[in-house]
Chain A
Amino acid sequence: MLKTDMLIDAKDIKSTISRLKNEEDFTLLLDITAVDYMEYPDVTPSRFAVIYILRTSNFKKQISIKAYVDDNTLEVDSITDLYFAADWGERETFDQYGIRFKGHPNLKRVLNHHQFVGHPLRKDYPVTKGQICTETEDLMDEMIPLLKRKGYTEADMEDLMMLNVGPSHPASHGTIRNFVAMEGETITACVTEVGYLHRGFEKSCETHTYSQIIPYTDRLNYCSAILNNIGYSKAVEDMLGIDITPRAKMIRVIIGELSRITDHIVCNAANMVDLGGLTNFWYIFAPRDKAYDLLSKLTGARLTNSYTRIGGLEFDLYDGFAEDLDAVIKDVEKAIEDSLSLIEHNRIFHDRTQDVGVIKQDFAISAGITGPNLRATGVAFDLRKDAPYYGYENFDFDVVVGSHGDVYDRIMVKFEEMRQSIRIIRQAMKELPDGPLNVDHQGIFLPAKKDVYGNIEGLMNQFKLTFEGIKVPKGEYYGYTEGANGELGFYIVSDGSGTPYKVKCRPPCFYSLGAYARIVEGNMLADAVVTMASMNFIAGEFDR
């Protein structure tokens, strides 16, 4: 049975984690969540357990730690002074489960609105019980302590201009709200509020079978839906202990990298629009539409593809796929060239992006920032190299790193990563093996239609898989892949039935957004807009 790596006493959370951080080099806090064992078939010491997932500084090893929480107090020690990332991680756990973290500087809801009563991810909260919110909060309860910590007196605060940016603002994607205190054009303090797109992904997972969740994962990071499909399917396949076929692996690599390209295209195009360069948007968006045509030929959908299945893929490649893919890649290469020719020697572009929104390396690690945003600071962390899966170790590609961690680096890292993805795709297309596409396992994959209509075993098999879902063995598992935004992890708890007991997605940009307020403080407001665009915050992912 799959278990967490460590089971500790709730009293020892702080001491254990600080030992792991300082002596065993677990410097990256990936995620904090909790599990409500109220309906779990096994007897547990108490109803709630908190889960911490950490990773070492060489990124090769990760560890999950579980501690049962005392039912009477529902309180554990906060680890916010060890990791910056714990701030939002603990807030979310409090919001969804009602577990309090002693010593947390600002323990309030983060995803649900302030008029919400109860804790939705508890098993006794009905999934459809919505609660109306009549007004947004003013956020002064966070802003005033923040300014006080920065040394402002009540009289000083009179001179500051309080400005609300978002949620409906062209630069904030309609879902991020930043409340800033400004001195002239400079931001002195910033409070970020999210949750405007919290769609209850994790709660919905608990009422659907494993296969039915795949469409939900599409809508996490909707710019690269297939990478989410792959991340989730891989986690479930690891729990089942099955190895998918070589052909499926290779197709997942190809389509996943194409997905990464489209994601970076959207991010960079939107970033240039926020800088005022609309031409780039037209240049880079055209090949993306071509890529969508290819994906809709292959999967039937442009944006939300739901292409993977547990144990394989929905369809095999169609005839003529290779030529189409080649044309798309050529277009993307040309678009990158075109776009770069517009900005490479553009003085305005350089002045607006260089030395703006700088993220320091040690802060990025502490805040749990991963993916292109971390690589732009110069840390060469890429799960495709550090913990390879699907044969990424056999491809010849480079990890792209920046040097300065500013907006310019982040844009250029994304451009270069597109080129590296193209390299991977070209190698993978050459190596594409023949053979079966999906695993041949009757408890996992739907039988062929001739069996469904031809014999009783096939019919029953189809019936059981459709109605009960794939029976995943009891246990808890954290599966991870390199998503477009960083480490995309799924922490899945199974009770042995066809429906997951709990699914927690580790969204890469949730933690980047938690750090965003600290990054933009001291910068100009206009630079904060550009910084936000360059960090690729996807609302579906951080709000889930």
Chain B
Amino acid sequence: MGLGAEANLGDSIITTKLDEAINWARSYSMWPMAFGTACCGIEFMSVAAAKYDISRFGAEVVRFSPRQADLLIVAGTITYKQAPVLKKIWDQMCEPKWVISMGACACSGGFYDNYTTLQGIDEVIPVDEYISGCPPRPEAVLDAIMNIQKKSYNESIIKDRERNFKGILDA
């Protein structure tokens, strides 16, 4: 016998649309893969820590394996040297998957307009949510996660997500 709302429901059945049920479950159990390379990674630690507490959104299961994650958070500068690694991680993630580009460097290269920094990760992988700031405040990251939740609500399990993306590392 449960103690929550299900306690009142007894052994009755609730009917709903499959998409609704699955999207509801998915959006509140995002498993982020934190690709933290630099300062934004430190700020991402703050998001995960007690004060901002990412687990209020069900996204506290931070995984470092792309196989176990459905939300890639790129937190930090991506250099040309790092780009193939990022690409590989993105390719290894299973569908459905989303990407948050956190901070100015990941979005556009930031003020590192020079020979070594990739001018935005969307040259390599597709991006769903951009967060501005250098580094963004934790609230901004939570906001992006909420936006991803909204996005994932409109998915359908019978339709694949459209991807016409071609980056500089795609042959």
Contact = CB atoms under 8 A, between A and B. Distances in A.
A195 B81 contact: yes
B116 A199 contact: yes
A304 B117 CA distance: 19
Which among B64, B79, B84 has the greatest number of chain A C-beta atoms within 10 A?
B79
Interface in A168-213: 168-170, 173-175, 195-200, 203-204
A222 B42 contact: yes
A308 interface: no
Q: Which 7 A-B pairs have the closest CB atoms?
A: A222-B39, A200-B114, A170-B64, A113-B81, A285-B49, A174-B37, A200-B116
Contacts of A292: 46
B142 interface: no
A133 B83 contact: yes
Contacts of B41: 173-174
Interface of B: 35-39, 41-43, 45-46, 49-51, 64, 76-77, 79-85, 89, 105, 111-119, 134-135, 137, 168-169
A289 interface: yes
Interface stretch (A124-132, A360-368, A403-411, A442-450): A124-132
A540 B82 contact: no
A346 interface: no
Nearest to B37: A174
Interface of A: 112-113, 120, 125-136, 167-170, 173-175, 195-200, 203-204, 215-216, 219, 222-223, 266, 270, 281-282, 285-286, 289, 292, 302-304, 539-540
Given A203-B115, A215-B111, 16 more contacts: A112-B81, A112-B116, A127-B115, A133-B80, A134-B84, A134-B169, A136-B81, A195-B81, A196-B81, A199-B105, A200-B115, A216-B111, A222-B38, A222-B39, A285-B46, A286-B51
Contact of A174 (B35, B49, B134): B35
Given A128-B114, A132-B80, A168-B64, A219 B45 contact: no
Main secondary structure of the interface of B (DSSP, over half): loop
B43 A196 contact: no
Contacts of B134: 304
Given A129-B115, A286-B51, A304-B135, A219 B82 contact: no
A161 B28 CA distance: 40
Contacts of B51: 286, 289
A136 B42 contact: no
A310 B113 CA distance: 24
A459 B53 CA distance: 48
Contacts of B76: 174, 197
B116 A168 contact: no
Contacts of B81: 112-113, 133, 136, 195-196, 198
Contact of B42 (A135, A168, A223): A223
A204 to B, nearest CB: 5
A292 B138 CA distance: 12
Nearest to B43: A303
A173 B115 contact: no
B67 to A, nearest CB: 12
B102 to A, nearest CB: 13
Which among A120, A135, A198, A281 has the greatest number of chain B C-beta atoms within 10 A?
A198
Contacts of A173: 36-37, 41
A42 B168 CA distance: 43
A197 B37 contact: yes
Contacts of A175: 37-38, 82
B41 to A, nearest CB: 7
A120 B117 CA distance: 13
Contacts of A169: 64
A200 B117 contact: yes
B77 A199 contact: yes
Nearest to A302: B137
A136 to B, nearest CB: 6
A197 B75 CA distance: 12
Given A200-B116, A285-B45, A289-B46, A131 B80 contact: yes
B169 A196 contact: no
Nearest to A544: B116
Contact of A113 (B39, B80, B117, B168): B80
Contacts of A285: 45-46, 49-50
Nearest to B39: A222
B93 to A, nearest CB: 12
Contacts of A219: 38-39
Contacts of A304: 39, 134-135
B49 A198 contact: no
A282 B55 CA distance: 13
Nearest to B34: A174
Contacts of A127: 113-115
Nearest to B118: A130
A512 to B, nearest CB: 18
Contacts of A130: 80, 114-119
Contact of B85 (A168, A198, A540): A168
Contacts of B169: 132, 134
B45 to A, nearest CB: 7
B46 A199 contact: no
